[in-house]
């Protein structure tokens, strides 16, 4: 078997664990620093790699690197089409809707008045998010028209070319659900709980283990397949009626927070999947 590549930038806890599992399994591998490698778009030979796991911190670097590798016939995890879809909340929502996967009501608008009309149609409160971004950054819950006007005006002033992604506020019970899908398996699920309405672990959310129910498994695997499959984190929310909605799908999942709540060998599961892809 050709060696495994791990394309990354800053080596976080997750990358250290993945590299450790590769060593423990006695697999030939190479850590590739995306900041130092040069991609010759005409003649690069990557045939020594059976597969390359994309773990770049930058969404943009991950997308372009994966696209270059995909076009040269290298197996990537995840492929560029998956990275592109998951890196854009609009494309993710469209993919979920195409596959009839329940998710919060969402509008996209390109103008202040259209955006205000969209928020009013969803009713207050509503959530305005950047289409591209992670870790719960730059999200705003607007409780009335004055707040919506201020947030929308600020966003359009900063970048008038960026669409406004406007989502119905889900009154979740102080928590959401993060699950990880590797290939066709949901390998863990955890609650992320916080007093704040944003429950991301990057924003202070605390994780506790959650047994994987048939519904969670079905929705997570369906959402992962909707965006193209691979190694994917699926975020779900419970609405006021207890119905599960898929909120986002993430293509380069961090899992250090989940490690405190589950005994699943997450890094090992990822390595096993990359090996299967490379064979």
Indicate if the pLDDT at residue 245 is higher than 70: yes
Are 139 and 196 a contacting pair, CB within 8 Å?
Answer: no
- pLDDT above 70 covers a percentage of the chain that reads 99
188 Cβ contact partners less than 8 Å away, ≥ 6 residues apart = 179, 180, 209, 212, 258, 262, 264, 266
pLDDT-derived band of residue 273, with 50, 70 and 90 as boundaries? very high
Q: Say how far apart CA 178 and CA 235 lie, in whole Å.
A: 5
- Residue 161 vs residue 65, higher pLDDT: 65
Instruction: Give pLDDT, residue 188.
Output: 98
Instruction: Give pLDDT, residue 134.
Output: 77
pLDDT-derived band of residue 202, with 50, 70 and 90 as boundaries? confident
Residue 55 burial class via C-beta count within 10 angstroms: exposed 0-12, middle 13-18, buried 19 and up: buried
Instruction: Give pLDDT, residue 199.
Output: 83
The angle formed by the CA atoms of residues 181, 63 and 49, to the nearest 5 degrees, is: 75
| pTM, full prediction | 0.95
Instruction: Give pLDDT, residue 109.
Output: 97
Instruction: Give pLDDT, residue 138.
Output: 83
Span 198-209, mean pLDDT? 85
Lowest mean pLDDT among 38-42, 83-87, 156-160, 261-265: 156-160
Indicate if the pLDDT at residue 159 is higher than 70: yes
Question: Helix, strand or coil for residue 209?
Answer: strand
Indicate if the pLDDT at residue 135 is higher than 70: no
**Alpha carbon 171 to chain centroid, angstroms:** 22
Token pair 């202070």: residue: 204
pLDDT-derived band of residue 161, with 50, 70 and 90 as boundaries? confident
């Amino acid at each position: 078997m050709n060696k495994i590549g791990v394309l990354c930038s800053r080596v976080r806890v997750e990358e250290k664990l993945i590299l450790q599992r590769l060593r423990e399994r006695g697999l030939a591998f190479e850590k590739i620093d995306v900041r130092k490698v040069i991609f010759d778009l005409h003649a690069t030979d990557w045939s020594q790699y059976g597969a390359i796991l994309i773990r770049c911190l930058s969404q943009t670097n991950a997308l372009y690197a994966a696209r270059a590798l995909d076009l040269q016939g290298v197996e990537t995890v995840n492929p560029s089409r998956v990275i592109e879809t998951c890196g854009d909340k609009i494309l993710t929502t469209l993919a979920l809707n195409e596959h009839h996967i329940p998710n919060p009501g969402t509008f996209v608008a390109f103008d202040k008045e259209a955006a205000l009309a969209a928020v009013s149609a969803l009713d207050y409160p509503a959530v305005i998010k950047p289409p591209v971004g992670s870790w719960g950054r730059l999200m705003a819950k607007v409780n009335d028209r004055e707040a919506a006007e201020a947030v929308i005006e600020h966003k359009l002033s900063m970048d008038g070319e960026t669409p406004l992604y406007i989502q119905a506020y889900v009154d979740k019970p102080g928590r959401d659900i993060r699950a990880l899908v590797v290939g066709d398996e949901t390998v863990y699920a955890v609650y992320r709980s916080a007093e704040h309405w944003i429950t991301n672990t990057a924003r202070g959310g605390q994780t506790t283990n959650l047994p994987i129910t048939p519904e969670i498994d079905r929705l997570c695997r369906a959402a992962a397949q909707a965006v193209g499959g691979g190694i994917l984190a699926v975020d779900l929310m419970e609405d006021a009626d207890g119905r599960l909605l898929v909120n986002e799908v993430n293509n380069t999942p961090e899992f250090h927070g989940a490690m405190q709540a589950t005994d699943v060998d997450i890094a090992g599961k990822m390595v096993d999947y990359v090996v299967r892809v490379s064979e």
